[in-house]
Amino acid sequence: MATCSITHATPASFIAHQAKRSLEEAIALGFLKTEVDVFIGGGLRYFTQRQDGRNLLKELRAKGYQTLADTTADIRQFSKGKLAALTADLHPPRMTEGRGDYLMRATQTALQILKQQPKGFFVMIEGSQIDWGGHANNTKYVTSEMIDFDQAIGEALRFAQQDKNTLVIVTADHETGGMSLTAGSTANGTAEAKFTTGGHTGVMVPVFAFGPGAEAFGGIYPNTAIYSKMIQALGLTRPDNHPTSGKNRSSTGQY
């Protein structure tokens, strides 16, 4: 689930195999080709106003999904079964423009549905617009989106703490904006920042992990190693053709 279109780069990378991120109608088709149980995000137009005339929401219903195409309905009305929720025509609004507790509610809903899976589950939850605030060099945009993401992390941690068999990993694919905190106060909740670029940077990003297997996420390593570490944590075998397989990426911080 995401606070952007569900066909946007990060959620798409978990679903589709397309040459370009801009092929969002083709990416939307990917959701019909997987057995994903729950997806929640914007991007309704790529499902219902397509060049090929198909209505993917109708097709998803035929595949047994409950569907939601409503920006105002409370997602928490769904508590079991498969769910395809398209919550905006394109992207859900910014926090500062009234998105409210959408991501937290989406997280609660997904966890409620997925915890009923007897074999366990994997869920990706993205605070999509933190990056957009960085591109805009807009401190208020970054901080409001970050606080919103933090609420979703809180939901995930509460679930993991109770469940005791869930690994929560929190990270970013990159830093955006070269943002540096120059002043601020925890007492009155203010932050001032300066930016060095409107693009992505190579600044190292933190990886936080909580739950069984969390110790494997310490140290410094290439971000592709997170894939291998997840596969190991899940007790699965890596496919032989994956670029990091066999290279013995360190999980002990030697890099």
Site of interaction with Zn ion (CB under 5 A): 131
Distances (CA, A) of 37 to 8, 88, 115, 118, 235: 19, 20, 11, 13, 21
* Residue 182 DSSP SS3: strand
Q: Least distance to Zn ion from the beta carbon of 203, Å? A: 13
CA atoms within 13 A on the CB side of 59: 13
Pick 78 or 195: Cβ nearer Zn ion: 195
Given phi > 0 = left and psi -120 to 50 = alpha, else beta, which region is 146? Answer: alpha
Q: Least distance to Zn ion from the beta carbon of 113, Å? A: 29
Q: Are 1 and 126 in contact (CB under 8 A)?
A: yes
Pick 131 or 145: Cβ nearer Zn ion: 131
Pick 65 or 141: Cβ nearer Zn ion: 141
Q: Least distance to Zn ion from the beta carbon of 67, Å? A: 29
Q: Which residue is nearest to Zn ion (CB)?
A: 131
| CB contact set of 115 (below 8 Å; sequence gap of 6+) | 121, 159, 163
Pick 131 or 155: Cβ nearer Zn ion: 131
Q: Least distance to Zn ion from the beta carbon of 22, Å? A: 14
